[in-house]
Structure 1
Amino acid sequence: MINDHNCSAILLAAGRSTRMGTLKAFLPWEGKSLIEYQITQLKNTGVKDLLIVTGFKHKKIAEMIQSYDVQIVWNHRFYEGKSSSIRKGIEAANAKAKGILICAVDQPVSQITLNLIIDHFKKTNAPIVVPVYQQKRGHPVLFHNNFRQELLNVNEETKGLRSILQKFSHQVSHLEVDDPNILFNLNTPNDYWSQFKKPKGES
């Protein structure tokens, strides 16, 4: 694993969860709330600089995770979209961090896969690491600190992180993982229940 302070992780949890109909952060997931599951998995990788970007229902989320050793960053412009939360997280992240792992609360991934991504970054010094399952790219994505300014400039008009991945596609290191969870995107009740009801490890 990367040594302390060499990697920051940003967990985006600022959205309204409009399509889900209830706040995603509070959904049950493997015996915890979804946001607590995510925090636990990220903390278990050894990442110390963990930032949770909140927005909608900030006080409720902050209260739920107050016992965790994380930095809570409130994005008061969350209504502008995910890119505003990415920028807010990057602004608050450790400027000396070598890598920046960007995660979303509705895209749960286990610590095993997170460790694979971080270890691959450490071993290869890759500019960008993207996990892949059965030839499909997933999440989370780990960026070298050299992309800090690019990340500070993301916006919804240019499709957020996608624009960076397209512009610097020649610098992306694709990491094959045996984990279908990297493709999860829990946007709607159907998305959630289709995954929630499956036995652990089934794709």
Structure 2
Amino acid sequence: MKTGIILLAAGSSSRLGRPKQLIEFQGKKLIQKAIDEAQKSKADTLVVVLGWNPELVKSGFDSEKIPHVINENWQEGMATSMQAGLRFLLEKEQPDQVILMLVDQPFVDVGLLDQLISLKGKSGKGIVACSYSDTLGVPVIFDQTYFKEMLELKVSEGAKKVILRNADDVFELDFPQGAVDLDTEEDLKRLKDLEIPE
């Protein structure tokens, strides 16, 4: 099974007021940390989806070496970024399954990504989604049987729509730290309090 990872890093961090992709955590910019974890995982391929100010965000990782795509319609919603990444992978890599991950979930690591891949194989389900804060969400792995549905999502919809619509084909992976994302300075302060030196 060929696994692709779509790393969504297109947002403008409007509530935070500075690009969260470039915030440092454990000595690395968030975008670089996410790329490193993805590259260490059992996934075969990766694409980073950029949108807002791509040249600035590219300063946070080696854009010469890391495949990336720029979603010109990023402001229309996360579905457009997911679809841009998925189209890129389908054209270049033909994966059998894809993992969606966000740049601002700092506790997503190689262990979690590998768990998604392995649980998908073991569970026999077409989707393995992380569960936190009474919801199911990213990181999530989708079988190729869902690619068409993902590409047909309306701009305002997200991957969660596909997860909820196919609940009987979803395996849940408990990941309480998935609730930690970085939208405001308060989130960042909480994160700094949680930060453990490596």
Q: Same fold (TM over 0.5)?
A: yes
Which SS does the other structure have where 1:132 is aligned?
A: strand
Change (3 A) 1:175 1:145: same
- Structure 2 counterpart of 1:150: 149
Per-residue deviation, 1:62: 2.2
Deviation by residue 1:89-148 (Cα, 9 ceiling, x = unmatched)? 111014631211001111231111111111111323420001235865343011001100
Alignment equivalent of 2:180, drawn from 184, 190, 200: 184
In 2, Cα distance between equivalents of 1:134 and 1:127: 22
* Equivalent residue runs for 1:98-177 within 5 Å: 98-108=96-106, 109-133=108-132, 137-157=136-156, 159-176=157-174
* Unpaired stretches in structure 1, ≥5 consecutive residues: none
Change (3 A) 1:18 1:38: same
In 2, Cα distance between equivalents of 1:160 and 1:34: 22
Contact 1:10–1:52 (Cα < 8 Å) also in 2? yes
What count of residue pairs does the alignment treat as equivalent?
A: 194
* Equivalent residue runs for 1:1-203 within 5 Å: 6-66=2-62, 69-94=65-90, 96-108=94-106, 109-133=108-132, 137-157=136-156, 159-176=157-174, 179-200=175-196
Normalising by structure 2, what TM-score? Answer: 0.89
Per-residue deviation, 1:50: 0.3
**RMSD between superposed Cα atoms in Å:** 2.1
Per-residue deviation, 1:84: 0.9
Contact 1:78–1:84 (Cα < 8 Å) also in 2? yes
Per-residue deviation, 1:183: 1.9
In 1, Cα distance between equivalents of 2:32 and 2:72: 22
Which SS does the other structure have where 1:142 is aligned?
A: strand
* Unpaired stretches in structure 2, ≥5 consecutive residues: none
Contact 1:138–1:183 (Cα < 8 Å) also in 2? no
In 1, Cα distance between equivalents of 2:70 and 2:95: 21
